[in-house]
Amino acid sequence: MHKDLLTGLREYITRERLFAAGQPLLLAVSGGADSVAMTHLFHKAGVPFAIAHCNFQLRGTESERDEQFVRQLAETYKAPLYTTRFDTAAYMEQHRVSLQVAARELRYQWLEDTRAAEGYAWIATAHHMQDNVETVLMNFCKGTGLAGLHGILPVQGKIIRPLLFAQKEELLAYINEQGLSFVEDSSNITDKYTRNFFRHRVLPPILEAYPAAVPHMAGTIERVREAELLYQEAVTRHKKKLLVQQGNTFMVPVLKLQQTAPLHTIAYELFREFGCSPAQVSQVLELLQSESGRYVATATHRIIRNRQWLLITPLAQQEAAVIVIEKEQSHVHAAGGHLKLRIQDRAALGSIPAAVNVACLDSKHIRYPLLLRRWKQGDYFYPLGMAKKKKLSRFFIDQKLSLPQKDNVWVLESAKRVVWVVGMRIDDRFKITEGTQEVLCLEWTANY
């Protein structure tokens, strides 16, 4: 236990290099104990912050009460406040995902959009040590790789988790000690069953056997996280040795791959960015024993045995690179996935879905026919939330796309303007605004 939570926070920020002095934070605040403690701690630490609150509208008046509570909190700290309301139920329905997935996707997408649009350096969430331990334990029981065992990362993209060092009991003690009020954490609602089951049924007997299990598991998680960096280092070196590029075809020498160990893991890491699923790795490895001409088709590529090589070619090459879409079309197939189109009234849409594979555009700016085509050098667009245009090649670097991932990006074009980098970001000029009446809804589903 840390004698002083504020000191603990400062040390953790330094140790994990969470952010630089003066960088403004956007705190994700549900109003629950954890996020209230986080807000108070950053206030005491003198770190400038704004508050963001999502109303999932799942618990009627309670959801309203929570929102009101957070509004009060923002006033108390004189912090800028951003709030939004999600039609979570509609999103679940539309995307056929669980409440948990819906809430997470909506929340993180909106937080990131708000962060980018309003110019905050980082989003901070109030995950603590117990959350982390529960997550890893659940991943372990569900089956996972090393990545599932490293737990919740202190830094991930633009999100930081400054309370991972702290135990739940410490945060509650801090709340009591400082006399802070809070509401029931609605984010707990969003993954009610399994997490609460682990919290109330699995963890207690573990703590009976090992009273210090939580910090000990947290230590394990931290060591796994460091070990994973070394793992990645070795994987990168193997990939470099095994992948030969010629134009937009990649080749892997059969003999060299056969001699690589551990074969299954390396093969997975090698082929996953060419759309190979974990279940397909064994099929790909069978190619090492097969005759020339046999191949495995992944979501995005074909992996073909050709004499002493495995050739990896994008599926796109074998199909039309430009697809013309007329206004009346509602469904389009393309290499790697399919696109659904639908026009509807703004009022009927409800809240705007936040999943990256869905785009909602203002119909009045759209000109037909649309073109669905591969991106090309020189393409640019105005990424949602930005006032300046950006080259796609630059955008892909920011998004950390690998070469083969880039090969598979589609863009949707209207009157020579990119309206959507498919599955990634819409163009700001086509977004829905106050004045929007009719909406073009697009949904991209990848083939895996």
Query: Which residues are documented as binding site?
Result: 30-35
Stretch in the footprint of its own copies (CB under 8 A) among 85-93, 112-120, 137-145, 319-327: 137-145
Is 234 an interacting residue with respect to its own copies (CB under 8 A)?
yes
Give the one residue of 62, 197, 333, 397 binding its own copies; rule: CB under 8 A.
197
Give the one residue of 153, 180, 235, 401 binding its own copies; rule: CB under 8 A.
235
| CA neighbor of 311 nearest in space, from 324, 320, 298 | 298
Stretch in the footprint of its own copies (CB under 8 A) among 261-269, 289-297, 343-351, 416-424: 261-269
Residue 355: CB minimum distance to its own copies, A: 26
Is 205 an interacting residue with respect to its own copies (CB under 8 A)?
yes
Q: How far is CA 173 from CA 29, 34, 177, 377, in A?
A: 19, 11, 6, 56
| Token pair in block for residue 74 | 């923002």
Is 1 an interacting residue with respect to its own copies (CB under 8 A)?
no
| Token pair in block for residue 9 | 């926070």
Give the one residue of 94, 100, 188, 265 binding its own copies; rule: CB under 8 A.
265
* Tokens 């013309």 sit on residue: 324
Is 216 an interacting residue with respect to its own copies (CB under 8 A)?
yes
Closer to its own copies at the Cβ: 149 or 424? Answer: 149
Name the DSSP letter for residue 274. G
Closer to its own copies at the Cβ: 116 or 147? Answer: 147
Is 279 an interacting residue with respect to its own copies (CB under 8 A)?
no
Residues constituting the chain:
448
Residues 6+ apart with CB under 8 A from 253: 242, 244, 308, 309
Binding residues for ATP: 30-35
CB 65 within 8 A of CB 183: yes
Closer to its own copies at the Cβ: 211 or 247? Answer: 211
Q: What are phi and psi of 43, to 5 degrees?
A: -60, -50
CB 393 within 8 A of CB 355: no
Stretch in the footprint of its own copies (CB under 8 A) among 17-25, 34-42, 223-231, 336-344: 223-231
Rounded CA-CA distance 61/52 in Å is 19
Where do runs of H (alpha helix) occur along 96-183? 99-118, 129-142, 146-149, 168-178
Closer to its own copies at the Cβ: 268 or 395? Answer: 268
Give the one residue of 1, 227, 320, 324 binding its own copies; rule: CB under 8 A.
227
Q: What are phi and psi of 256, to 5 degrees?
A: -60, -40
Is 357 an interacting residue with respect to its own copies (CB under 8 A)?
no
Report 140-159 residues binding its own copies (CB under 8 A): 140-146, 148-149
Stretch in the footprint of its own copies (CB under 8 A) among 64-72, 82-90, 260-268, 327-335: 260-268
Provide the β-strand partners of residue 159.
Answer: 123, 156
Is 210 an interacting residue with respect to its own copies (CB under 8 A)?
yes
Q: Are strands 380-381 and 390-391 parallel, antiparallel or unpaired?
A: antiparallel
Give the one residue of 20, 21, 209, 279 binding its own copies; rule: CB under 8 A.
209
Give the one residue of 241, 264, 367, 391 binding its own copies; rule: CB under 8 A.
264
CB 223 within 8 A of CB 151: no
By CB neighbour count within 10 A (0-12 exposed, 13-18 middle, 19+ buried), where does 246 fall?
A: exposed
Residue 212: CB minimum distance to its own copies, A: 8
Give the one residue of 181, 219, 245, 397 binding its own copies; rule: CB under 8 A.
219
Residue 218: CB minimum distance to its own copies, A: 9
Stretch in the footprint of its own copies (CB under 8 A) among 48-56, 206-214, 251-259, 334-342: 206-214
Q: How far is CA 85 from CA 25, 64, 350, 351, in A?
A: 21, 10, 10, 7
Rounded CA-CA distance 199/207 in Å is 11
| CA neighbor of 390 nearest in space, from 380, 375, 402 | 380
Residue 25: CB minimum distance to its own copies, A: 25
- The Cβ-side half-sphere exposure at 236, using a 13 Å CA radius, reads 7
Is 224 an interacting residue with respect to its own copies (CB under 8 A)?
yes
User: With contacts defined by CB under 8 A, how many residues of the chain interact with its own copies?
Assistant: 46
List residues binding its own copies (CB under 8 A): 137, 139-146, 148-149, 194, 197-198, 201-202, 205-206, 208-210, 212-213, 215-217, 219-220, 223-224, 226-231, 233-235, 237-238, 261-262, 264-266
